[in-house]
A and B are shown apart, each in its own frame.
Chain A
Amino acid sequence: MSHDQDVTRQFDDVAERYEKSAVHAEGPDLALFRAAAERLRPHRALDVGCGPGHVALALAPFCAHVHAVDASSAMLAIAAARARKAGHAHVGLQEASATRLPFADAAMDLVTCRFSAHHWRDVTAGIREIGRVLRTGATFILTDSVGFEDPLTDTHLQAIEVLRDPTHVRNYTVSAWMALLAAQDLMPLRTDHFRIRLAFADWVTRAKTSPARVDAITDLLREAPAEARARLGVEADGSFHLDVVTVQCEKRGY
């Protein structure tokens, strides 16, 4: 099965868990998306990799039109039901891949993407697509968990991430993100850093990680070098900490 098919299957299977997840439904960065939309009052906004619609619903009160795309139809069904319940008739959902967005060039006044890019098969293509659909001067807001610049810690993080969820591709480092954004004329205006605690049992349950893989993660974390354990903030039960970045960018003209 291809990566894209794996992603669709994985998230169709666990969609409702992401609706309830505190990391996804709340999270200190979500307020930044809401505040930006309130300030910018975009005519047309797009959330890429919308999952159960946390960002789309946060943006909705401040936008004339909100589009939300995801590759999982189960996620979109939850997002649609939540938008209906909130009375947001101007939230439109489309099933699509981030790397092939079905929108015209420069159609968007705001694009957002939260905790999605680390699943993409081709992140350069995804960010290129986001740059394409943004009009010059428009805003892009990205949140993602980031990799560690220290290779030892980063190798351990990527290993536990892919054991936990086979659709994990990579947490990019902040410096890698800056290069990816700059290459698409997306100029960072503001960067916020967060550190989130992932409760081990919730983290593996949310992804439906198999018992064999849970054991492998537990072993890997327990036997990891002290430097990596310290940077990940590993606790006795396997809970650990992830660095998260929110970057607000402006699309520059050519």
Chain B
Amino acid sequence: MDRRLLEILVCPVCKGPLRYQREAGELACRACRLAYPIRDDIPVMLEEEARSLSDEDLKGLG
């Protein structure tokens, strides 16, 4: 994931910053508690395709 892309890519719901989770291959939004998958190198920035983040996941985001 290109760092420059992360500077302009935001959560489509709240427009807040995203954290790239390399191992999970996801982009996480702490505020919305959503993780957007990356499939075939294409970030899927759709709320209905995102995974809900658990309390555990949120702690992992640091």
Q: A residues within 8 Å of B by Cβ? A: 44, 65, 69, 71, 73, 76-77, 80, 92-97, 100-105, 107
Contacts and interface: CB of A to CB of B under 8 A. Distances in A.
B40 interface: yes
Interface residues of B, number: 21
Interface string B38-54: 01111111110100000
B11 interface: yes
Contacts of B45: 69, 94-96, 100, 102
Given A100-B13, A104-B15, A71 B46 contact: yes
Contacts of A97: 12, 46
Contacts of A95: 39, 42-46, 49
Contacts, number: 54
Contacts of B49: 95
Contacts of A77: 40
B5 A101 contact: no
Contacts of A93: 42
A95 B11 CA distance: 12
Q: Which of A44, A93, A94, A103 has its CB near the most chain B CB atoms (within 10 A)?
A: A94
21 contacts: A69-B45, A71-B46, A73-B39, A76-B42, A80-B42, A94-B43, A94-B45, A95-B39, A95-B44, A95-B45, A95-B46, A96-B46, A100-B12, A100-B45, A100-B46, A100-B47, A102-B9, A102-B12, A103-B9, A104-B8, A105-B15
